[in-house]
Every structure is written in structure tokens, then in C-alpha cells.
Copies of this chain bind each other. A is one copy, B any other.
Amino acid sequence: MLRLKSPGLERLFQSPVLEATFGGGEANVAVSLANFGLDAAYVTVLPDNAIGQACIAELRKFGVDVSHILYGPGRMGIYFLETGANQRPSRVVYDRSEAAIAKVQPGTIDWTSAFKDADWFHITGITPALSLSACEVSLEAVKAAKENGLKVSCDLNYRAKLWKYGKTAPEVMTELMRHVDVAIANEEDCQKSLGITVQSNVEKGELDTKQYQALTAEVLKQYPDLSMIAVTLRESKSADINNWSACLNDKKTFYLSKSYSITDIVDRVGGGDSFAAGLIYGLHAYGEPKNALEFAVAASCLKHSIPGDFNRVSVQEAEAVMGGNSSGRISR
């Protein structure tokens, strides 16, 4: 997606200029994984015009394999963003009707080719929310992934403003989840996408981690093919101040990560995606969930200090934070 953001902390169109970068769920994950040194490919459909071409170039800049991106009819989805401060929340205005990816048809993407030499497929709950055909392609994708022997991760990513084509989130996501190995969610996603509730008080920004153990256990119970679920825990004190941590349940153990106090948020958009990428990287690099979870939380904690959707952070930087060095002392 094209991301059009007002400068600094201005409201949209306060100045006649927009910062124009690219982002969006799966793209953010792909860039993060490439930054961590893994081979990452991004598969989507984009319009064959200056905007679509620029998006591809930007992904290629980070080393993401773009050879499976197709040009197709439709436009580039756009979101307008203004960054909040204090009691004023950040605001997103979506403009993605008729996006090329929403017009993709089943059978268009050659998944077998895309999955050649791959061992992992990641999808979010945003793609099946765009249109019926995007939903069908999403299901096609996860099935093809499993058939080709890939692990599948899914970030549920519930978006209330989508799901307008006739199907509800639970109708689709409960089906899609049957093909998923690693689920990623926040408390709202579980409720809105899967219909599984945790008693929390999001507005107040307070968390009860015990309930998350119950929640994750319940999800794992309902989806027996799932091997683990990670839940991000955000306590929102203000637009600038959040506590950030996560938990993970792999059926054997319930892990609760360190919690980071983030007091001067630069950009929290893409925070969840950076967690997903961190978890995928961590599972590859450490081979066990505890450190993977800590890496994911540290990497996504750092994301909150980076302008833009992409988490421009290296493994060394995330591991330094994960290892306890979060004093922010100048590095020279």
C-alpha cells in the first residue's frame, strides 16, 4: 500500500505535503525478514503504473524478492495517516477500494512456483477481508502452502472497516485458521476474528496476563493443528507512551516476555508486523519459542522508534535490546 502521512505531528492536509512511502501487513513482514538476513519474497498483485513500479523498487531496495509480484487490473491501495500525540490518537483513513490485490482471482498466482525453495508462508487477516476473490485466493494460498510442505503463520489483524463484501471475519478466519501452524493476534483479533474472548479492558490500557494464558489455551484447543499462538500485549497510556510485551503458548508452555516501556513513540504503525517478522526470524534462528518471543518483542519494541511502516532494524540491534541493553546510550 501507498502510505501518505502528514508531516511530523500535523493533521492531514495542514501543510500541502504528504510523506509518501510504502507499507502494509505482509510487505512489512517481508521487509523485516529481509533486514534480518532471511530470504523473503513478497507475493501480491499491483497496478502497472508509476505507483506500482515504485512500490516494487522500494521492496527490492530492502532485498525482498519481488519476482513473484504480478501486475494486474486495479489500483494501488492507499492509506492516509496522521500521527497522534498525547491524548490525540493517530488516525488512518483507508482508500483501498478497487485495489489490484482485491481484484485478484483464484488461479492467477502460481503458488507452486512461488513456494519453490520456501519453507514458510505468512499471511494476515487483512487480505481475506478485502474482497471475496481475495478471500478465496487467501484460502488457496494457505492450502497450497501446506501442500508444498511450508509452515504457515497468520496474523489475524482484524480491521473493522474492511469485511464489507458479504462475509464476516469469523466465517472466513475460522476456516483459514485450520491451515495455520503459528497464529499471531492481539486480544481484539481473537474476539473479532475468531469469536474467542478475553476479559480485558483495552480502553484503560491495563492488562491481565493471566487471562491471556486462558485465551491462548482456548484458541489452541479449538484449532488442534495450530502448534503455537503468540499474543501481543499493548498497554496504551497515550499516543506517545505504551507498554509493550507479548506472550506465547506452544501447547507445552505459556511464555510471557519482558515488558518494555516505550515513552516517546515515533511510529507504531507496523508494530504488529514487526512482531510477526521477529517471531518468524526467532523461530528460525533460535529453534525454540522462548528466545523467539523475546526477539520478536525486542524487535517490535524498536519498531516504535522508526518512522515508516518498515522496521529498519538489524538482528544485532534487536538482540542488543533483547540482551538487556535498552538504555539508549549513544553508539559511537
Contact = CB atoms under 8 A, between A and B. Distances in A.
B305 A91 contact: no
A95 interface: yes
A12 B204 CA distance: 37
A321 B76 CA distance: 29
A9 B87 contact: no
A159 B20 CA distance: 27
A172 interface: no
Interface in A40-78: 49-51, 54, 57-58, 60-63, 75-76, 78
A18 B238 CA distance: 29
A15 B312 CA distance: 13
Contact of A61 (B12, B57, B238, B307): B57
A138 to B, nearest CB: 20
Contacts of A92: 330-332
A185 to B, nearest CB: 16
A298 B86 CA distance: 12
A91 B51 CA distance: 13
Band of interface residues on A: 35 or more
A89 to B, nearest CB: 5
Q: Which of A15, A92, A332 counts the most chain B CB atoms within 10 A?
A: A332
Contacts of A61: 57-58, 60-61
Interface string A203-234: 11100000000000000000000000000000
Given A92-B330, A238-B263, A301 B87 contact: yes
B85 A264 contact: yes
A21 interface: yes
25 contacts: A9-B266, A9-B305, A10-B307, A11-B312, A12-B50, A17-B17, A50-B93, A57-B61, A57-B63, A58-B61, A60-B63, A61-B61, A75-B95, A86-B301, A88-B302, A89-B328, A89-B330, A89-B331, A90-B328, A94-B332, A203-B325, A239-B328, A241-B328, A263-B263, A268-B330
